[in-house]
Amino acid sequence: MTDHETSFTLPNYLVSTDWLARNLRETSLRIYDVTLYVEYKGDTGDSFGGYNLDSETARKEWAESHIPGSNFIDLKSELFDSNNSIPFMMPPPESFAEAIASRGVSENTSVILFSKGCQMWATRVWWMLRSIGFDNVAVLDGGWEKWERENHPTDNVVSKYPKGKLSVNPKPEMWINKDQILEAMASDGPPMLNALPHEVYTGELNRYGRPGHLPGSHSVPYESVINPNTGEFLKPNVLRPLFAKSRALDADKVIAYCGGGISATMACMAMSLCGQDNVSLYDGSMNEWVLDETLPLKLGEEP
């Protein structure tokens, strides 16, 4: 990007495949495939063996066919906190800004994120960028599958964006830690949403070593906010009833969590589409919570 090039403001936090196809030649666009494949080891309902994280398969798939001009980012090695023993954690804002700038993001760029299989990796990076004050970022609604299904252009040209420069304006209120969760639970604090599959929420499937959900949290599975036929986010009028029981959309603040702070960002996106942006993401989520056996977990359907 040259100095005279400036970004244009994205229409909102979701962009359609048609919109991206029309704007592919826009020089300020930075388009990233952020796919990461996850296998849950020992996912039998009564055992826990951690994760297998596969970014190499995703990188090879991107190299074979991708949205023209897009780059691939390896979340595992590039954007997660390598100094933290808990998987998937957000690095310090300055470190994250430096890492994402090295891949081409600058103040005057417009970032489009997509992922294969599930949009949670794209929404996670969307959340991370917004949390350092970079708001001109959107997720490709429907992801790679919709792009390919509609026969939009693809190629196999491997290119790199020039290195960018990004300032940091952190929004710490977008994150919440374990101690703050405990304070909120003790004071009958804001609504809590669990975005894991319902069988994990109830404890029927023990994916994290200790089954159940944080007491008081409501189940809004991440897959429930997506149209299963198109892979797109549901419209606000369809999304709102999903949050009715928790009253999350009317609350002054909401807490969202999942297994590792990834799939919950899909609930965060869904709430944003409904006008609720006062959300804090528990980054450690179940990965951290289960490590302390003194911390409560509740089994069953009820919060």
Nearest in space to 32 (alpha carbons), one of 208, 167, 159, 194:
159
- Give the pLDDT of residue 51: 74
Q: Would you give the DSSP letter of residue 162?
A: P
pLDDT, averaged per 10 consecutive residues of the chain (303 residues), comes to 56 96 96 93 55 91 98 96 92 98 97 96 99 98 98 95 96 98 94 98 94 98 97 98 97 98 98 98 97 97 96
**Given this structure, which CATH class describes domain 14-170?**
alpha beta
- Give the pLDDT of residue 9: 84
Residue 1 contacts residue 108 (beta carbons within 8 Å):
yes
Residue 34 contacts residue 12 (beta carbons within 8 Å):
no
The residues, any chain, with a CB within 8 Å of residue 186's CB and separated by 6 or more, are: none
- Give the pLDDT of residue 165: 95
CATH H-level, domain 173-289: superfamily: Rhodanese-like domain (3.40.250.10)
Residue 96 contacts residue 283 (beta carbons within 8 Å):
no
- Give the pLDDT of residue 43: 54
Report the Cα 94 to chain-centroid distance in Å. 19
Domains 14-170 and 173-289 alike in fold: yes
Radius of gyration for the chain, computed over Cα atoms and rounded to the nearest angstrom = 19
Per domain, the residue ranges of the chain are: 14-170, 173-289
DSSP 66-95: BSTT-EE--IIIIIS-TT-SSTTPPPPHHH
Q: Would you give the DSSP letter of residue 213?
A: B
CA 203/CA 213 separation, integer angstroms: 7
Q: What's the CA angle centered on 255, arms 252 and 260, to 5 degrees?
A: 160
CA 89/CA 91 separation, integer angstroms: 6
- Give the pLDDT of residue 49: 56
- Give the pLDDT of residue 47: 47
Q: What is the 3-state secondary structure (H, E, C) of 103-159?
A: CCCCCCCEEEEECCCCCHHHHHHHHHHHHCCCCCEEEECCHHHHHHHCCCCCECCCC
- Give the pLDDT of residue 39: 83
